[in-house]
Structure 1
Amino acid sequence: MTPHDPPIFRFAPSPNGRLHLGHARSALLNQEFARRAGGRLLLRIEDIDLERCRPAFVAGIVEDLAWLGFTWEEPVRRQSDHFEDYRDAAKRLRERNLLYPCFCSRRDVARCAAAKGGATTDPDGAPLYAGTCRSLPMREAERRIAAGEPHVWRLAMNRALDVAPRELGYSRFDADFRQESVPCTPSRWGDVVLVRKDTPTSYHLAVVVDDALQGVTHVVRGTDLEAATDLHVLLQALLRLPTPWYHHHALILDSGGGKLAKSRGSETLESLRARGWTPEMVRSAVRAGVP
């Protein structure tokens, strides 16, 4: 069993669409792990994207989870209510000279990568940032910020690795809570954006802060986020936060071999329910990994 007493698990969907079978697998695995470990189970709404997230989707998440028989502790943490926590974390990193302002648009980054004949990509497939603004004099950066020029804040990866522990890693656990140590290579993410133009955070910064503030000890999520764990472990070290144990489960794929996703129009739990599916049918499909 685990050394944590009591273990704390969480399911943390984003309300930018309705849940599908992939979400159901993650939610039900979290519930099963928490039950077997005698732990607590939290629900967190990750709604930092104020343009795409909708109250109706939050209500839909609650409806779908209740239908599945997924239960959680109250209150539910909503990221949009806690922007100050993320501002504080970013401030701590800036004070250590680990963040720098970047005025490049996504188009600028892509154009620069194309000019170099195709740059190395990060684990998500996006071109690694070339560091155009990394050496921009702070006086010039402050002038542009004061003038209202749109900008993000990027992690200075080289400086971050200089001050982080030399050996970074985390504990990965299996279905029997056996754990093994996994080394991290956060450098493959490059100078990642930690504060976006439209919100005072990014997914990576917010999830690390939230897990620490909520006392999460075990993170159960899909293999599509396995590479991000390297970056999260680095941020935990830089912010002096605890590192949970991690379990990355296999994804449910569609008939074309792609992962289920809202952006791909994957069938939702709401739609399956309307077609006569029962919670047990969803559980069976989740166990089989077949939509």
Structure 2
Amino acid sequence: MQIRPAELAAIRAGDIDVAFRRWERPRVRVGTRMRTAVGLVEVTSVDRVPMRSLTAADARRAGAASLAALRHGLDRLHADRPVYRIGLRYAGVDPRHALREAVPDAAEIDAIVAWLDRLDRASPAGPWTRATLLLIDELPATRAPELAQRMGRDTPSFKQNVRKLKERGLTESLDIGYRLSARGAAVLDHEGHPRSVPGRAVPEPGIPLPHIGAAATRALTAHGVVRLEQVAGLSESDVLALHGVGPYALRHLRTAMDAAGLSFRDDSGASPHAGAAPETS
């Protein structure tokens, strides 16, 4: 179930608690917790409703400008399908965020290593876990098809494998490709694997950049900006001055920062978030 960034921010703030979709059959279940850019969003209800029963209050709860706008949106695509009302609520931060930033102790590392070994033994294509972690460490923010080609794998199966690593907090997804987490780096270091860049800095804790497009992501990461907290050290004009960053990226950055309680630095030079200045070297 796709939800736009602005709607996610409103769900997190409690301003939106329902969504309406035209589906042939329900695509989510009550109790489902979806991982989103703002954290976990839980499905609290799924009900088929007649279009004629929708009200202005429904439109407000869904974040629509008006009842007419809500109905128009539902009629734009698949007008022959029934309408479902989905209850939604913010259910907290994605637990993987904290997990990937937590450096495991010796017992945890042993458990992770044993799990990686089981994945390797069960793979019909042969061991892949350490090679995948090392490749992501070597080539962060690289498109998945390029990484898959280097591994001699097709892109869908490569992505599926990376998702397994992500579930254990060993990697994190970027707008382009992936990066090794502090947890993943600790496992590689513990096993003594040769890192492509010895002493590569462990990823800083914080909120990763939202999906803002490949060009904008490249522009920010090239300046060492990979977290929202670092964006807060820049003014809007600073961000727009970067080649590849346009209104679309700025809008999504602003929405993500609002949801996180952050804001851009004032153009006067005074930052409302001390210590959030980005790395530029």
TM-score (norm 2): 0.23
1 or 2, which has the higher strand percentage? Answer: 1
Q: Which has the higher contact order (CA 8 A, sep 6+)?
A: 1
TM-score, scaled relative to structure 1: 0.23
